[in-house]
C-alpha cells in the first residue's frame, strides 16, 4: 500500500538536498527570467543580518547588464548630468564610482574632474572591470582608472578621494557600517560619500521592493559608520540622493596653544 506521508517525506528530503546544492547559486536563466526595466535578478541568498546585502547575484554577464544599465531610456529619470552637477565636483578632484557596473556614470564624472582629475571606476566583478577599461578606451576618457575591488574592500588609495559615488549599489554590500567605516580611511579630509538608491516604493523601474532599503535605514547605517548627512538634493523622481561627510575627529584638529 502507498504510504502518502512517507512519500511526502522522501520528496521533501530530495528537494532539501537540491536547495542546499543549487538554491544559493542563481542560474543565468533565472536572471534572464527576472529582467526588469532597471533592476536586479532574483535573490541569490538569504541575507545574513540586517546590515547585509538584500540580494547577492552574479554581474558577470556584461551584455545583459549593458542592455539594462545603459538603456537610453534611463537618462530620463536618472538625469546623470544633473546628478553629477549637484555633487559639486570640481576640476582636479579624485572621485570614485563604487559599484561602477558598466560605467554608465564614467563619462559624466570624467568630464567633471577634467584632465587633471581622476575617476576610479570600482567594481568587484572582473568582467565588468574589463568592460570599464574597454569603455574608457573607446570613449577616450584617459582619466578613468578601472579598479578590481573585493566585496569587502574597494581597494582605493588611503586618504586619497574627494568623493565616492554609490549608485544602486548600497544594498549589494555586506556589513555596511563596517564597510563604510573602513571606506572613511580612503577619504581626504572633507571628503564625501554620495549614496543614490531607489525609494522603497513600488516604482516602474528598479529592483523588487524587498531588495530596497529605506532612506532612513541608509542614514542610520551611515551614522553608525561615523558619517553625518550633509545634503540631500531632491532632483530624481525614483531615487533619493544622500550626501554624507565624516566629522573631523578631535585628534585631527590643530592643537590649541596653552601658553
Ligand atoms: C545595480 S549595479 C549598479 C551599477 C552602476 N552604479 C549604475 O548605476 O549603473 C550594482 C553594482 O555593484 C557591484 N557590487 C556588488 N557588490 C559590491 C561590493 N561589495 N562592492 C562594490 N561593488 C559591488 C556589482 O558588481 C554591480 O556592478
Sketch out the chain's domains with CATH numbers: 62-247 (3.40.50.150)
- How remote is the CA of residue 102 from the centroid of ligand 1, in Å? 9
Residue 16: predicted pLDDT: 31
Q: How far is CA 54 from the centre of its chain?
A: 12
Bridge partners of 147?
122
- Cβ of 54: how many Cβ atoms within 10 Å? 18
- Which tens digits make up the pLDDT trace of 18-35? 222 222 223 333 333 233
Q: What is the pLDDT of residues 59-110, one digit of tens each?
A: 989 999 999 999 999 999 999 999 999 999 999 999 999 999 999 999 999 9
Nearest CA to ligand 1 atom 11: 99
Query: What ligand 1 atom has the least distance to the C-alpha of 207?
Result: 1
Give the residue-averaged pLDDT of 41-67.
78
Q: Which residue has the higher pLDDT, 229 or 29?
A: 229
Q: Among residues 17, 100, 28, 24, which one has the least CA distance to residue 55?
A: 24
Residues 176, 179, 180, CA angle at the centre, nearest 5°?
85
Nearest to 59 by CA among 209, 154, 172: 172
* Burial degree of 230 (CB within 10 A; 0-12, 13-18, 19+): middle
Distance 114 CA to ligand 1 centre (A): 24
* Contacts (Cβ under 8 Å, ≥6 apart) of 88: none
Which residue has better confidence, 55 or 87? 87
For the segment 151-166, the average pLDDT, to the nearest whole number, is 97
Q: What percent of the chain has pLDDT over 90?
A: 73
Residue ranges around ligand 1 (CB below 6 Å): 59, 69, 98-101, 104, 123-125, 128, 149, 151, 167-169, 172-173
Ligand 1 center to 98 CA (angstroms): 7
| Residue owning the nearest CA to atom 24 of ligand 1 | 99
Confidence at 11, pLDDT banded by 50, 70, 90: very low
**Alpha helix ranges (H) inside 115-198:** 126-139, 176-183
Secondary structure element (H or E) that encloses residue 194, with its range: strand 187-198
Pairing state of beta strands 239-245 and 228-231? antiparallel
Looking at ligand 1, which residue's alpha carbon is closest to its atom 1? 168
What separation in Å is there between the alpha carbon of 190 and the centre of ligand 1? Answer: 25
Ligand 1: atom nearest CA of 123 is: 22
Instruction: Supply the pTM of this predicted model.
Output: 0.83
Give me 57's grid cell.
547575484
The side-by-side arrangement of strands in the sheet containing 118-123 is 144-148, 118-123, 94-98, 161-167, 187-198, 239-245, 228-231
The closest residue, in CA terms, to atom 20 on ligand 1 is 151
pLDDT at 49: 83
- Burial profile 9-25: b = 16 or more Cβ within 10 angstroms, e = fewer: eeeeeeeeeeeeeeeee
- CA 97 → CA 77, 102, 166, 210, 224, distances in Å? 19, 11, 6, 25, 22
Q: At what angle do helices 215-224 and 176-183 cross, to 10 degrees?
A: 60
Amino acid at each position: 500500500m502507498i504510504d502518502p506521508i512517507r512519500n511526502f517525506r522522501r520528496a521533501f528530503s530530495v528537494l532539501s538536498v537540491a536547495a542546499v546544492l543549487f538554491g544559493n547559486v542563481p542560474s543565468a536563466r533565472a536572471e534572464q527570467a527576472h529582467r526588469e526595466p532597471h533592476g536586479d535578478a532574483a535573490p541569490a541568498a538569504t541575507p545574513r543580518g540586517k546590515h547585509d546585502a538584500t540580494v547577492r547575484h552574479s554581474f558577470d554577464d556584461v551584455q545583459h547588464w549593458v542592455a539594462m544599465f545603459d538603456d537610453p531610456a534611463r537618462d530620463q529619470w536618472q538625469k546623470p548630468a544633473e546628478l553629477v552637477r549637484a555633487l559639486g565636483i570640481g576640476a582636479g578632484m579624485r572621485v570614485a564610482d563604487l559599484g561602477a557596473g558598466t560605467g554608465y556614470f564614467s563619462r559624466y564624472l570624467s568630464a567633471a574632474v577634467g584632465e587633471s582629475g581622476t575617476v576610479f571606476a570600482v567594481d568587484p566583478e572582473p568582467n565588468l572591470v574589463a568592460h570599464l577599461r574597454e569603455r574608457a578606451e573607446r570613449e577616450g576618457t584617459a582619466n578613468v582608472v578601472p579598479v578590481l575591488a573585493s566585496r569587502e574592500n574597494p581597494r582605493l588609495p588611503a586618504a586619497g578621494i574627494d568623493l565616492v559615488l554609490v549608485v544602486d549599489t548600497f544594498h549589494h554590500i555586506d556589513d555596511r557600517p563596517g564597510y563604510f567605516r573602513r571606506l572613511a580611511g580612503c577619504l581626504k579630509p572633507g571628503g564625501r560619500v554620495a549614496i543614490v538608491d531607489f525609494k522603497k516604493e513600488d516604482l516602474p523601474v528598479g529592483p523588487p521592493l524587498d531588495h530596497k532599503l529605506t532612506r532612513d535605514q541608509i542614514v542610520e547605517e551611515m551614522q553608525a559608520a561615523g558619517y553625518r548627512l550633509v545634503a540631500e538634493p531632491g532632483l530624481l523622481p525614483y531615487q533619493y540622493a544622500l550626501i554624507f561627510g565624516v566629522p573631523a575627529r578631535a585628534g585631527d584638529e590643530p592643537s590649541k596653544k596653552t601658553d
